[in-house]
A and B are shown apart, each in its own frame.
Chain A
Amino acid sequence: MTLVMVVDDDQDLAEMLGIVLTGAGIDVDLVSRGDEVMDVFRNNPPDLVLLDVMLPGLDGIEVCKLIRAESMVPIVMLSAKGDTQDVVKGLEAGADDYMVKPFRHPSELIARIKTRLRRTNADVLGLLTIGDLAIDVQAHQILRAGKQIALTRLEFDLLVALAKEPGRVFTRDALLSEVWGYRHSTDTRLVNVHVQRLRSKIEHDAEHPEIVITIRGVGYKAGVMGGS
């Protein structure tokens, strides 16, 4: 059974989240303080973390950084502020996705969680290459000259999405629907922040990307390395 850790200081909301998730067949671990997260996390590693931004003890952004330092587990931030700075800070701290309270529908939350838990690209078999990287989709591994590069699930999905159609230029909206599972969202910051993070891990020089290339005014495409 899937385990989701819900970190929120509002008891009622946490309980409600618990009811909704349990109803969808997901096990829930409730944590109400930021500084208690890591203990619970280590004792009982979840498959996904739902993390509120405003927390007593330690704020959500800091918690997010702590989790990222140890694990590639998907993190979805819950934010009561739709304000840009909070969202971007959360994404930069390593969150994969965010949801602004109040959610449109509980089903929307479930859908997001399921998208993040789904083994994406199960249809792709064997080995992909992008630039000088080799991607083993089944084993969930990225290799450069035999050495493994650690990516979060989302970063992995993003890279695979680009790699499996090397000629295609993906708009940010297309990536949002392909990787994040949004039907139509206008929040392209999500894509921008994650592309930056992905580049910092896989590019030789993040200032002059050769693997994930920006097509100005359109979006991104997989880079073709000279010779390879």
Chain B
Amino acid sequence: MNRFFWKARNSLAFKVIISTVILSLGVVWITGSALNSRLSSGIREVNLNSAIAEARSTIFTADYRFLLAQGEKDSIVQKVVDDVISSATTITSNENTREVVFVRSPGNTRAINYEIASNLLDPETIPESLSERVRKSDDIVWQYATMRYLQGVSVPGLAIGQKVQIPNAGQYEMYIVFSLSNEEKTLNLISTYLLIAGLILLLLITLITWVVVRQVVKPVREAARIATEFTSGDFRQRMKVYSQDEISTLGHAFNEMAESLEQQIARLENLSRVQQRFVSDVSHELRTPLTTLRMASEVIAASKESFDPTVARSSELLVAQLDRFERLLEDLLEVSRFDAEVAVLEAVDFDIVQLVNRCAEDLALVAKERKTEIFVKSAEPVIMIKADIRRVERILRNLLANAIDHAEEVQIDVQIAASERDVAIGVRDYGIGLDENSLTRVFDRFWRADPSRARIRGGTGLGLSIALEDARLHNGELEAWGRPGRGAHFVVTLPRKTWESIDQRLIALQPEDYTA
């Protein structure tokens, strides 16, 4: 049953066939019934007319013969009655049987009784209502009635009656009863044939619909299949176009789209390759001189005690700025790797609690310089995850460094929570915070909350943007919350196995300590 509904929902052919069958069932039913009723009423009318004509002539003949027998002896009259019955009834065939019934009219008290019914027909066959009408009328009167025989057989019939005068016996009602079993059979046969014809018609309609729908649906299915393969990466797939109809128009349009997509993709792939090579070249070309510079500056700085103060300070600045330049270069290269979508994950098993603690320890000195302190609180002592440790460490360092930069000499709370599937780390500071506008831009590259604010730590301005990309590369999410003057809260949620997706937020983005 489920399969039926599934098909009904998902197969166009099935839907079309079902609705065609239902609609044509209605049409066939209506025409069939109309035809049936017209045919049967026509047949009935013809039969009725001929029966009435026959009955009229029979009764007239009987009446005439009774008239001729006026004044004869009772035995002669009896013979006339017998003759009338035998000539009016048929004994041979069961179909088209005619029976004759004589009934004494009420009030007839003569001694002789000619009441008779032919062939063991039960006189009760004649309905009382018909008898009444016969008594009142001078003409012949008819009514449909069920013929009951004394043997127990009963068939549908037509009773036609009129008053007659039998000599020396007074007034009688003479009835001719026609069997309609033949007519009934004919009518049954007609409706049976109509039913069969209707069913065959329905079957044929279904078949035709199926063939037609197949013609339409097959290329549509083919198109869907090709589109699916196209989507899954086989860009060489094309639809076959055989004719000039609407389906072939679809095919042409699809093929044009595929062609254009394939070109676009090839162009983008090429761009990406160029970009990748560029990144690699820049990396090599810039790093080698930077290495020389770094070493030279260190050698100079190592003997700064022998320089005069301005030169000594200059050498310090040189070292510091080379550091910053190098960080900027690394971040830029990383960003361009993300843009070229060539960043790869190298997942290993590690304990995230230990990593968070280590990052916090590494940054403890910097935090102390800025008169703040990092407190780490974990739900569990050890939380093993499988992720790219280098990237996770970078996310944590970026979040912590950002918090230290904006902590305003208040402590920083780091919270670690884990479920079966996910792990979340929240970094909460109580410093200058962020307004609505800043929240939407906080992950933008080179964006600063307050341009007039001095860049004390010399961050690259790419940290949070890279952290977000790193989190997303893990199928994770990095979100920010903040209120001006009330601090900020950054929450990173990662799946514990990096190829899975996160299914819940373990740490509420709006911190629990915050009340508006």
Contact = CB atoms under 8 A, between A and B. Distances in A.
B393 A186 contact: yes
Contacts, number: 60
Contact of B295 (A20, A82, A188): A20
Interface in B248-295: 280, 283-284, 287-295
Given A20-B295, A23-B299, A106-B295, A188 B348 contact: yes
A100 to B, nearest CB: 8
Interface in B370-409: 384, 389-390, 393
**Residue from B298, B384, B390 with most neighbouring chain A CB atoms (10 Å):** B298
A80 B348 contact: no
Interface string A76-112: 0000111110000000000000000111011100000
Does more than half of chain B's interface fall in helix, strand or loop, or is it mixed? Answer: helix
Top 5 A-B pairs ranked by shortest CB distance? A102-B291, A80-B284, A101-B291, A80-B287, A101-B287
Interface stretch (A9-17, A139-147, A148-156): A9-17
Contact of B284 (A16, A20, A54): A54
B290 A102 contact: yes
B357 to A, nearest CB: 12
**Residue from A23, A81, A107, A184 with most neighbouring chain B CB atoms (10 Å):** A81
A20 B299 contact: yes
Does more than half of chain A's interface fall in helix, strand or loop, or is it mixed? Answer: loop
B171 to A, nearest CB: 120
A217 interface: yes
Given A83-B280, A102-B287, A186 B389 contact: yes
Contacts of B296: 16
A19 interface: yes
A84 B298 CA distance: 28
A13 B291 contact: yes
Contact of B290 (A17, A82, A101, A107): A101
Contacts of A187: 390
Interface of A: 10, 12-13, 16-17, 19-20, 23, 54, 80-84, 101-103, 105-107, 184, 186-189, 217
Nearest to B337: A83
B349 A12 contact: no
7 contacts: A16-B295, A16-B296, A80-B283, A82-B283, A101-B287, A102-B291, A217-B349
**Residue from B291, B296, B349, B393 with most neighbouring chain A CB atoms (10 Å):** B291
Interface of B: 280, 283-284, 287-296, 298-299, 326, 344, 346, 348-349, 358, 384, 389-390, 393
Contacts of B283: 80-82
B344 A81 contact: no
Contacts of A107: 298
A20 B393 CA distance: 31
**Residue from A10, A16, A105 with most neighbouring chain B CB atoms (10 Å):** A16
Contacts of B292: 10, 12-13, 16
A103 B294 contact: yes
A54 B358 CA distance: 35
A184 B280 contact: no
**Residue from A13, A107, A187 with most neighbouring chain B CB atoms (10 Å):** A13
A84 B289 CA distance: 22
Contact of B299 (A19, A83, A101, A186): A19
A184 to B, nearest CB: 7
